[in-house]
Chains A and B, each alone.
Chain A
Amino acid sequence: MTTILDPTDERVPVTRQLSPRSASVSGRVALLDISKPRGNVLLDQLEQVLAAQLPGVTLTRYKKPTFSKPAPAALREEIQRDNDFVIEALAD
């Protein structure tokens, strides 16, 4: 029998679970622009539609400094702390 050493970061494989989906949208919704070109256009449209259809919902815009890097930890924490939903715009 050959023994080899694990070349990976050894995290236990976990199947990622989706968060429970709510039947309705209420409370606070984050609109996250990842800084890809025209992501803001998509979010502008979305914001108008949501504001008209869901007047009780608080919409807040956020923006990653660049699409090419992970969102800074502070931004991730802020979005998580202050919101119930996130809509992220990927665009080009």
Chain B
Amino acid sequence: MATLPVYELANMDGVRVSSPQDEGALICFIKEDCPTCKEVMPVLDAFFAQYGEHMPVQVIGQTQEGNSALATAFSPAFSILDDSALQVSFAADIETVPTLLHTDANGNELTRLVGFVKDEWQTMASELDALTGQQSISLNWSGLPDWRPGCGSLSVDPANEPRLRAMAEGSPIRARRIDVGSQDDEFEFMFDQGFSDGLPLVPPTPERVMAMLAGTSRDAQEVLGEMAPNMGVVTVEKVAINSVMAGCKPEYLPVVLAATEAILTDDYNIHGVMATTMGASPVIVVNGPIRHRIGMNMGLGSLGQGNRANLTIGRALRLVVRNVGGAKPGETERSTLGNPMKLTMCFAEWEERNPWSPLHVERGFSKDESVVTVFTMSSGPTLIVDQDSRSASQLAGTLGQGLQAVMSPKAYGATDCLLVVVPEHVDTLMRDNYSKADLRQRIQEVSAQPLRELVADAKSGTGIKPEMAAQMDEATLNKLVSKFRSDDDIHIVVAGSEAGKFSGAFHGWVTGSVGSIPVSRKIEH
């Protein structure tokens, strides 16, 4: 049984009136622009005259101007209570006006009449007459329509409902509320608080966060993990707040949540990725049906600007790291140069243009699952230009030569890469039916170097120390070393427009257990 909320509302004279306590009551919710509410105003006035001395009879209106207009038009003996904040209407679960409630001494609803059905109102009047020991109410019932539908309550209007839900008791929101002074500019305030990555943020108002949380069926207080370096507790709600600030739509939230879970793993090691002076940052690749559902870009310019989903999902993840984890440049984030990808880097794979298995299928998911994969880059996307090769082995050779420079030309077996193959390059590779395995093998073959070529010399002091090389025999020095420790360290996706023979490579950071290992997570609604 529903219970009347406890409230205190101002009447037309500004006097605060409390909700009925310890006695039965009659409460009616109305709004001025509803014809049915106007129709029942004389009935409510008669009810007030008949029962007002025996029990509280309160009429609650939903706009201040409307209440005044009704008072002027009908001159009722009661003073309409002001619920323009709509909090009482919302808490009482009013969907339609008029709604007439009869409650008992404990505030429990005995009767709820929605709209105007004459028979129902008449029955209630008879019951109240009996209850108060009076003769039948004096009312010209025959002059009233048999039935009139009510109108929508303002408390369920989409313009108000998220805000009311956020403010209501039992709201899923638990985050600290910060009141920005009325003289303060909220955008400047958020910069001053250190919430920003350097660009303006969307203010995370309770109503916006409520709307964002509608993007997931997960509980707002579900804990995803603890984010380094501060080991801040990451909840769905905190991710939603940062997603609002980043400019996400609610339907992007499941992607941000999955990406957050991915970077919270020990394998991914977000602490090291943020702290390193090398300037590493996450790259998010999205696979599966959600790419189309949320309108991600996987074609022309997909690694660049212009698509809201791509840009804001990547930004939201970085804001979670900054605000919940506490990784800030100059503090535990120590990148020597930094890079613009630290603001955001997220794109979708063009699976339909990919003749091979898409990334998520290679990593153990089914094609119809939506999956996010997070890779750590230290630089890129670096273009590898090849407009001339006509055979797969030539083109793959160029890609191998380009990838030889990852980290530095003498850094071997140290890192991984994410190669973004463009459609025109895909076509050249497929002319000779190259598989992904062929491509990886060719990259390794072309970039392999004998150990002696990796020894530090006059041209570059990086590489194997000469004194170590001096200890090696000829056979060892002639041994070929692969650029990547394993073919699996070459991650391959397809994206980009139909025109242009420039594939892109994200250079990895330190890979393996001391660095960062790419992590994939299924995107759950």
- Asked if A and B are interacting partners, one says yes
Residues of A within 8 A of B (CB): 1-11, 35, 65-70
Are A4 and B178 in contact, with the CB atoms below 8 A?
Answer: yes
Are A5 and B269 in contact, with the CB atoms below 8 A?
Answer: no
Are B513 and A66 in contact, with the CB atoms below 8 A?
Answer: yes
Least Cβ distance of B260 to chain A in Å? 13
Most buried by B among A5, A35, A68: A5
Q: Judge if B315 is at the interface, Cβ distance under 8 Å.
A: no
Can you show 27 pairs from A to B with CB atoms below 8 A apart? A1-B181, A1-B182, A3-B178, A3-B179, A4-B190, A4-B203, A4-B205, A5-B206, A5-B209, A6-B175, A7-B195, A7-B241, A7-B245, A7-B319, A8-B195, A9-B230, A9-B233, A9-B238, A10-B175, A11-B230, A65-B514, A66-B514, A67-B514, A69-B269, A69-B272, A69-B514, A70-B271
Are B242 and A3 in contact, with the CB atoms below 8 A?
Answer: no
Contacting residues, chain A, for B514 (C-beta < 8 A): 35, 65-69
Contacts A7-B195, A8-B326, A66-B513 known; list 16 others, CB within 8 Å: A1-B179, A3-B205, A4-B180, A5-B175, A5-B204, A5-B205, A6-B176, A6-B177, A7-B319, A7-B324, A9-B326, A35-B514, A66-B272, A68-B272, A70-B228, A70-B271
Give Cα A68 to B238, complex, Å.
Answer: 26
Most buried by B among A4, A35, A69: A4
A35 closest partner in B (C-beta):
B514
Interface size class of B (residues with CB under 8 A): 35 or more
User: Interface on chain A toward B: helix, strand, loop, or mixed SS?
Assistant: loop
Least Cβ distance of A26 to chain B in Å? 33
Least Cβ distance of B481 to chain A in Å? 20
Q: Judge if B276 is at the interface, Cβ distance under 8 Å.
A: yes
Give Cα A65 to B182, complex, Å.
Answer: 51
**Of A3, A7, A10, the contact of B206 (CB 8 Å cutoff):** A3
Least Cβ distance of A33 to chain B in Å? 14
Least Cβ distance of B247 to chain A in Å? 13
Residues of B within 8 A of A (CB): 173, 175-182, 186, 190, 195, 203-206, 209, 227-230, 232-233, 237-238, 241-242, 245, 266, 269, 271-272, 275-276, 319, 323-326, 510, 513-515
Are A5 and B173 in contact, with the CB atoms below 8 A?
Answer: yes
